[in-house]
Amino acid sequence: MIRELFGTTNLQLVATHGHISSGLKDILRNMEFFSASIVTDANHSSTWRWTNHGFFSSNSAYKVLADTGVWCPYQARLWKIKAPPKVKVFLWLLLQDRLLTQDNLVVRGWPAIQSYTTCHLEVMETVVHLFIQCPFARSIWDLIQVHYNFSVLSFSSSIVDFWLQNRAIIGKQWDIIWAAVSWALWKERNARIFSSDISNRHLLLREIVACLDIWKHNA
């Protein structure tokens, strides 16, 4: 139906169509939400992010879409970041510590996957380790610091503090940079686990910078 009406199934293009109704905009927005809410593992098995058992329920979807009590206290800043919707959902999960890292898989009773091994540390994979403490992640933040001529970054023991403390120092431009680096680290982690694809830190930096350029122009 969407292809017949608008000549494309690209939801982002359709959502900008001048004659699109508010009802269809709601449907398209929810399609983005449902797409970002489904996790597919290496065996092509799909699970629902918002329940502990991994099965879809209309109640869980309603709470995420409509119940403001579910959203993080920084939602106003989060949703204004110039990033694609799926990245904003990812950031919300990151801030809420609901990504499927090793520690969260153990809590859910799922078989723990092997963390990517760039740091060679015998530690449980957590969001703090993956995005802040891991030597590979720190090397990326170091390159970002040099590339954008930032002062020394503040590395805390909390994802929220890491975002907001550096935002207070650098300003609003930090939001999109933090989003792009975090997204790149998550994709790199998944590529190493599920595809055995490994990027070096300089290649990842180029990808981050290119991603930032696209996000800024498309926002």
Mean pLDDT of the region 26-51 = 71
Q: Do 169 and 107 meet the contact criterion of CB atoms below 8 Å apart?
A: no
Mean pLDDT of the region 75-79 = 81
CA–CA gap between residue 114 and residue 124 (Å, rounded): 10
pLDDT band at 13 (very low <50, low <70, confident <90, very high): low
pLDDT above 80 (res 124) = yes
What is the chain's mean pLDDT, rounded?
80
User: What is residue 69's predicted lDDT score, i.e. its pLDDT?
Assistant: 47
Which has more confidence, 167 or 116? 167
User: So where are the chain's domains?
Assistant: 1-70, 73-219
Q: Do 139 and 199 meet the contact criterion of CB atoms below 8 Å apart?
A: no
CA–CA gap between residue 31 and residue 50 (Å, rounded): 15
pLDDT band at 71 (very low <50, low <70, confident <90, very high): very low
User: What is residue 7's predicted lDDT score, i.e. its pLDDT?
Assistant: 72
Each residue's pLDDT tens digit, 159-183: 999 999 999 999 999 999 999 999 9
User: What is residue 149's predicted lDDT score, i.e. its pLDDT?
Assistant: 92
C-alpha distances in Å from residue 190, one per residue of 86, 114, 187: 16, 11, 5
User: What is residue 112's predicted lDDT score, i.e. its pLDDT?
Assistant: 60
Name the range with the highest mean pLDDT among 61-70, 118-127, 143-152, 174-183.
Answer: 174-183
